[in-house]
């Protein structure tokens, strides 16, 4: 029976979401002696004039625009490599997947040390260039902080999507590859006309999941930069949490969440339309 499932869905998802969106049109604060009152679109008007919010929108889209294609491409490349039959395949699959099973908080702390001015990354740059190039203070420089978080995020999530791509590769019938080999086609032609079309459903799933994950960027920012320096790494989710809990502006945070929901929905629908199966 679907009734218990529907009830749980209503209680723990639909009702909280509707209440949260409803708060966006009120003056509610986390702790306040006065009860919330309806204020219409005032919170959204404040968002339109908030430079931090506009910067967080820009940072979120910049993060997603880089992470989605790079992480998907890297994961597909790794999947193609470990899909072959050679000694040590299981070892490489395990190595590539290890960052996924490690807590993002732990990964972020480790990479914070690596990115320090006197950290391992700058020492490697100094050694490779024989002291000619000095690495920046990656997380404290507004011009490199977001790029540093992007690089770490791509590295951490590639292993998970490699597994998804690998599952898709192993569903492609082997006789298609045998027919391509008999015809003597090149590796690129085989990938273009056999592998890539065979990954249609997997491709859609991977792109949508990476996009949603990229738009919900929070943990890395909270641990590594707290939105700084100069709001160069502030994102929509981070600003919503900071507004709702640290600044106790519950209604304002709900307005940010509602805008975030609409943006993710639009992007997902566009992706679904572009990757739909055409006749």
Numbers of helices and strands, H then E, in the chain: 15, 0
Maximum pairwise Cα distance, the chain: 78
Q: Has residue 242 got a pLDDT over 70? A: yes
Distance CA 115, CA 121 (A): 6
pLDDT tens digits, 185-200: 888 999 999 999 899 8
pLDDT-based confidence at residue 55 (cuts at 50, 70, 90):
very high
> 3-class DSSP state for residue 235?
coil
Distance CA 70, CA 151 (A): 10
In Å, what is the CA distance from 191 to each residue of 21, 80, 180, 196? 46, 10, 10, 6
Model pLDDT, residue 278: 66
Model pLDDT, residue 123: 93
What domains can you pick out in the chain, each with its CATH number? 49-275 (1.10.3720.10)
Taking residues 249-265, what's their average pLDDT?
91
pLDDT tens digits, 79-108: 998 887 777 778 888 888 888 888 999 999
pTM beyond 0.95: no
Distance CA 195, CA 198 (A): 5
């Amino acid at each position: 029976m679907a009734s218990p499932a529907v009830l749980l869905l209503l209680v723990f998802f639909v009702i909280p979401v509707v209440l949260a969106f409803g708060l966006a049109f009120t003056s509610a604060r986390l702790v306040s002696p006065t009860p919330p009152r309806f204020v219409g679109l005032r919170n959204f008007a404040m968002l339109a004039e908030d430079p931090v919010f506009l910067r967080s929108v820009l940072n979120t889209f910049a993060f997603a625009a880089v992470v989605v294609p790079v992480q998907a491409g890297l994961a597909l490349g790794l999947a193609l490599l470990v899909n072959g039959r050679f000694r040590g395949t299981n070892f490489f699959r395990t190595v590539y997947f290890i960052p996924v099973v490690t807590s993002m908080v732990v990964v972020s702390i480790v990479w914070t040390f690596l990115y320090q001015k006197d950290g391992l990354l700058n020492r490697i740059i100094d050694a490779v260039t024989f002291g000619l190039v000095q690495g920046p203070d990656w997380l404290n420089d507004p011009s490199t902080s977001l790029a540093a978080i992007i690089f770490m995020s791509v590295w951490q999530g590639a292993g998970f999507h490699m597994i998804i791509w690998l599952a898709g590769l192993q569903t492609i019938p082997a006789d298609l590859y045998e027919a391509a080999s008999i015809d003597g086609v090149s590796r690129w032609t085989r990938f273009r006309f056999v592998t890539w079309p065979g990954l249609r459903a997997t491709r859609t799933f991977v792109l949508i999941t990476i996009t949603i994950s990229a738009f919900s960027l929070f943990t890395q920012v909270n641990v590594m930069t707290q939105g700084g320096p100069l709001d160069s790494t502030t994102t929509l989710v981070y600003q919503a949490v900071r507004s709702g809990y640290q600044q106790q502006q519950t209604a304002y945070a709900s307005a940010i969440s509602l805008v975030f929901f609409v943006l993710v929905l639009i992007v997902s629908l566009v992706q679904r339309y572009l990757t739909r199966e055409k006749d």
